[in-house]
Structure 1
Amino acid sequence: MKKDFLLSSNDQLEKFAGIVNGDHPLKKVTPEEKIKVGVDLGTSSIVLTVLDSKNQIVYGAYEYDHAVQDGIVVNFMESVNILRRLKAKAEKVLGRELTTACGAIPPKTGEKSAKVVANVIEETGMMCTGIEDEPTAAAKFLRLSNGTVVDIGGGTTGISIFQNNKLIHVIDEATGGFHMTLVLGGRYKIKNDEAEKLKRNKEKEQEVYSVIKPVVEKMAAIVQNMGAEINDPVIVVGGATNFTEFTTTFSKVLKRKVYKPLYPQFVTPLGIAMFDE
C-alpha cells in the first residue's frame, strides 16, 4: 500500500479544518449552484458540512452536544436546536438557504434511529434526502473501493468491509469515545464533563492515553475478531481516534498496518454530504 494514498483526502480534511476554525477562505458559490449538505449527529458533537456539486468543500461548522448516546438521539429538541443554530450560521455566511440535507446513523442501529435523525433534520426546515450508515459515508469520502473502515465515534465502533466498491459486511459495537471518558472518570474520580475535557487536553495526552489504552485495544480486538473477512487497507476514522499512539496500538493488536487520515473526526461528516443528491 502506497504511503500517499490518503494525500488527496488529507488535503481536503486540512482545508475543512481550516474553514471550521476560521483560518481558510470560503469557496464562492452562486445562488443557482447546487450545494450538498451533510448532518452528523454525533455523541460528542453535531457537525454540519456543505459541499458544491463537485463535492468541493464550501463550509463547515460544529457544536458540542449531549443529545446523542451510543449513536442514538436521546434528546430530540437539543439536537434540533443545535442544528438550527448551525444552519442559521451557515445561511448567514453563505447568503443562501439550506434546503436539503443527508444524515447518517451507526450501522445496524435500525429504522427507528434513521427516522429520528430524519425528523431532526426536517424539524429545522430542510428536506432529508437520505440516511446513510456512517462507515459507508466515510468510505465514500475516502474513495475506498477495497478495504476496511473502522468508524469510532463517541458511542459506537462501526466496521464496514468493502470489496470492489461493494459493502460486503458491517457490524456495530457499543464501544467508543464515551467509554474512554468513563474510564478516565473512574480513574481520576471526576465527573464525565471533566473527564471529557481531560480527554481532549493535548498537553495531557500521554497520561490520558496510558489510562484509556485498554479501551483502544478492545476496539481493535473487535476488528480482529472478524478474522479473514478484513480487507486491507484498514482505516480508522472518528473523533475518538485523535491520539498520536492510536494507530500504533491498533496495528499491534491486528498485526497489520492501520491508517488514519488527518482530522479523522471530519471524514464521516464530509462523506455524508456527498450523498445529498
Structure 2
Amino acid sequence: MSKNKLTFEYCDQLVKDFEKAVEHPIVGKSSVYYTGVDLGTAFVVLAVLDENYKPVAGAYRYADVVRDGMVVDYIGAINIVRELKQELEEKLGTELLYAAAAIPPGTDALDSGAVKNVVQAAGFELTNLLDESTAANGVLKMENGAVVDIGGGTTGISILKDGKVVYVADDPTGGTHFSLVISGAYKLPFADAEKYKRDPMNHKELLPVLKPVVEKISSIINRHIKDYDVKEISLVGGTCCLSGIEEIIEKKTGIYTHKPQNPMFVTPLGIALSCGQKIIE
C-alpha cells in the first residue's frame, strides 16, 4: 500500500469525535451504551459509544494499578473503574451496563482473569475480552501490517495479514523506561519525571534524551517482524504521544510508520467497538 493511501481517516475522525465527547458528553436516547475499559500502566480510560457505536462520553485518570501489563493493585483498579463509571453515568443520566476490556498480547493465560474480575466488580456486565493490539485495529482497520501498542510498561505487537492477527508479542519496554531516563537525566523524582514527560511543550527537548529508548523499541519491533512481510506500522498507546517518536521508529525499521492524532485513545475506542450484549460468565 502506498503512502498516499495510508490515510487512516476513520481512526482520526473517531478519535476527534471522542475527544469532543470527553469534554462535552452527548446526552441522548440511545437504547444501549457500550463501554470500553482500558486498564493502562499510566492511565485508566473508559470510552462510551451509543447504539450506533458513535462516541458519546469518556473519562480517564492517571493510575498506578498496572505494571508491565499486569494488574498489581486489584482493589485500586476496581475503585477507579467504578468511580469513572459513576462519573459517566451521572453525565449521561443512565446506567452503563455493558463493557469490554483488553489485555496485552500473549498474556491471556496470566492476567485475563484479573482484568475480567476488575470490570465485573466495578459493576459492568463483561461482554468481550481481547488483546489490546487487536482492539486497536478495530479503529485502525489495517489489513496488512503491524499494530505497535507502546504503553507504560510494555510494547505489544500484533502482525496482521488480510485483516487477521497472525502473530502477537509483548515486550517489557515502554513509557516507564522513558520516565526513568528523564528522572536520571534531570535529577527528578520519578513522579515528577512522569509529569514532565506528559507535557507536549517538553517533547522537543526530551526527544534527543529519549532517543536511545525509542531506538530500543525499534529494535524490538524489528526482531518481531523480521519473519513477516510488514509494509506499514501503526503506533498506538499513551507513550506514542511523544512528538517525533514515529519518525525515529520509521527510520530504524525502514517501514512507513503512522501515528494517529491521539494514540492514547485508539485502544479504548477499539475495545468499546468490540463490546456487545452477549455476557461473558
Residue identity matched to 2:78: V
| Structure 1 runs (4+) greater than 6 angstroms displaced | none
How far off is 1:230 after superposition? 4.4
Whole-angstrom CA distance in 2 between matches of 1:4 and 1:11: 14
Unaligned regions of 5+ residues in structure 1, if any?
none
Matches within 5 A, 1:148-187: 148-187=146-185
Whole-angstrom CA distance in 1 between matches of 2:229 and 2:188: 38
For 1:13, what is the secondary structure of its paired residue? helix
1:235 aligns with 2:234: yes
Q: 1:239-266 CA deviation, whole Å, 9 max, x = no partner?
A: 1011221111001101121111110000
Q: 1:63-86 CA deviation, whole Å, 9 max, x = no partner?
A: 100111011110111111111110
For 1:49, what is the secondary structure of its paired residue? strand
Task: Sort the Cα spacing of 1:159 and 1:26 in 2 relative to 1 into closer, same or farther, 3 A.
Answer: same
How far off is 1:110 after superposition? 3.0
- 1:245 maps to 244
Whole-angstrom CA distance in 2 between matches of 1:252 and 1:259: 12
Matches within 5 A, 1:187-202: 187-202=185-200
Determine which of 106, 111, 114 is the counterpart of 2:112: 114
Matches within 5 A, 1:14-53: 14-20=16-22, 22=23, 25-30=24-29, 33-53=31-51
Whole-angstrom CA distance in 2 between matches of 1:61 and 1:67: 17
Unaligned regions of 5+ residues in structure 2, if any?
277-281
How far off is 1:203 after superposition? 2.2
How far off is 1:178 after superposition? 0.7
Residue identity matched to 2:270: G
- 2:264 maps to 265
Conserved 8 A contact 1:83-1:124? yes
Residue identity matched to 2:266: V
Whole-angstrom CA distance in 1 between matches of 2:235 and 2:6: 16
* TM-score, length-scaled by structure 1: 0.94
For 1:62, what is the secondary structure of its paired residue? strand
- 2:127 maps to 129
Whole-angstrom CA distance in 2 between matches of 1:72 and 1:230: 31
Conserved 8 A contact 1:224-1:254? yes
Whole-angstrom CA distance in 1 between matches of 2:231 and 2:53: 26
Conserved 8 A contact 2:105-2:133? yes
How far off is 1:57 after superposition? 0.8
Determine which of 88, 93, 96 is the counterpart of 2:91: 93
RMSD after superposition: 1.4
Whole-angstrom CA distance in 2 between matches of 1:91 and 1:223: 40
Q: 1:212-260 CA deviation, whole Å, 9 max, x = no partner?
A: 1111111111111221414222111111011221111001101121111
Residue identity matched to 2:271: I
Conserved 8 A contact 1:80-1:123? yes
Conserved 8 A contact 1:46-1:63? yes
For 2:169, what is the secondary structure of its paired residue? strand
- 2:10 maps to 8
- In the comparison of the two structures, how many residue pairs are matched? 273
For 2:261, what is the secondary structure of its paired residue? coil
Aligned-residue sequence identity (percent) comes to 39
Q: 1:36-69 CA deviation, whole Å, 9 max, x = no partner?
A: 1110000001000111233211111101001110
How far off is 1:127 after superposition? 1.4
Conserved 8 A contact 1:151-1:159? yes
Whole-angstrom CA distance in 1 between matches of 2:49 and 2:132: 18
Residue identity matched to 2:14: Q
How far off is 1:206 after superposition? 1.8
Whole-angstrom CA distance in 1 between matches of 2:231 and 2:49: 29
Residue identity matched to 1:229: Y
Whole-angstrom CA distance in 1 between matches of 2:180 and 2:99: 33
- 1:143 maps to 141
More displaced stretch, 35-44 vs 139-148? 139-148
Whole-angstrom CA distance in 1 between matches of 2:117 and 2:11: 31
